[in-house]
Amino acid sequence: MIVLYVFLLVISLIVLLLFLPLKGKQYEIAVPVRHRDERDTMFSRNEIKPGEERFDDYYRMRPGNREKDDAFRLKPGLLSPEAANYNRYAFACANASFEAVETFFPYREKAHSTEHRAQSRGEACFTSDNKDELSKFIKSWARKMGAHSVGITEMKDYHFYTYGGRKERYGKEVINKHKYGIAITVEMDYELTMTGPQAPEVMESAQQYLRSGMIATQLALTLRNLGYEAKTHIDANYDVICPLVARDAGLGEIGRMGLLMTPDLGPRVRIAVVTTDAPLMVDEPGYDNTVIDFCRRCKKCARVCPSSSIPFGERENHEGGLRWQINQESCYTYWCQAGTDCGRCMAVCPYSHKSNTFHDFIRWGIRNNFIFRRLAVRLDDIFYGTKPKVAREPEWISG
């Protein structure tokens, strides 16, 4: 009987240790001081071509990037038929989604309404006294259209690129005209994400860029019809750094892989932003020490990264703030070889598991208790492996 009592006491102590609200170490909040130039992003560097004035100008400005960029230019390229992971159906779907996103570009700042619709627009009628009403409506409307999460923040200088780097925005100074930013996330399908870096992943990724773009565009048009200015920031047409806006809007924290880690889906989301002068209620920022602590210990994304682009070490000072900085050149070079946007880091992240009772309980424990966090890292390795296998392509896509 004494042995039984001792056993029950030990079990009770373990349960208490695991479920008491013990947050653990506090980490420095990472807020950038220096601002980013979009021309330094890999998508911008991919768009400039040898022989163009922009090409020569950029490498005069950043001579150290020339050799690194020559490496990705030797590869087939994203969604190329010659790429290693080419799949005609998946690549055709991905290209279709990216082409469809571009149809939203004309609505970025101006409403292309018919005369009848223009006459139906109302005057701005919300003030600081009733901005909670408008904020609640915008969030509900976004979720109705398919957003997984929605948050609002007051825009800061570090949210914006200094200069544009894509298409006609190249080299133009980015000027912030709006006080508030509305960040939305949309969920990426679990099964298709798990196939990364195979072709179905990029098909899903592109579709969710399209869906987030549609929601953002409709939100912006709605705000204009209510009498306010609004501007979309969607795939290939950003003035803002979406993960930073989303983090400050309370939607998650930035993890080891450099992506937004949402509470329910981890990095398995796509983000879009609408900036506006409409009076809105801001949300609490998503600064989350528990995510930083978990990412410090987990390192699974770094272990499985096909291009070894994700660091294993601690956060370092970049742009005046502490964060993990991936090697964007080696990452993008791998994309150009595979033909997809990889997504392997998203697929293996313990935060990316399906939302169900068991996984939601684990997420709660990770947020609540530092001992639970350490145990969760080990248990994820036991149940899912230290280097999980790539999921098979669905039969309907693998033709």
Residue-wise pLDDT tens digits, 17-41: 556 666 677 888 878 877 899 999 9
pTM of the model: 0.92
Predicted confidence band of residue 381 (pLDDT cuts 50, 70, 90)? very high
pLDDT at position 147: 99
Q: Is 320 left (phi over 0), alpha (psi -120 to 50) or beta?
A: left
Collapsing DSSP to helix, strand or coil, 253 comes out as strand
Q: Return the structure tokens found at 250.
A: 């309370």
Task: Give the integer Cα–Cα distance in Å for 330 and 333.
Answer: 5
pLDDT at position 53: 96
> Looking only at Cα atoms, what is the longest distance across the chain?
85
- Of 251, 255, 244, 285, which Cα lies nearest the Cα of 148? 251
Collapsing DSSP to helix, strand or coil, 91 comes out as helix
Predicted confidence band of residue 399 (pLDDT cuts 50, 70, 90)? low
pLDDT at position 254: 97
pLDDT at position 12: 43
Domain map of the chain by residue range?
24-384
Say which residue the tokens 């939203």 belong to: 104
For residue 121, pLDDT over 80 is answered with: no
Task: Give the integer Cα–Cα distance in Å for 304 and 256.
Answer: 13
Distances (CA, A) of 42 to 69, 70, 275: 9, 12, 24
User: Do the beta carbons of residue 165 and residue 43 sit within 8 Å?
Assistant: yes
Provide the residue type at 130 as one letter: N
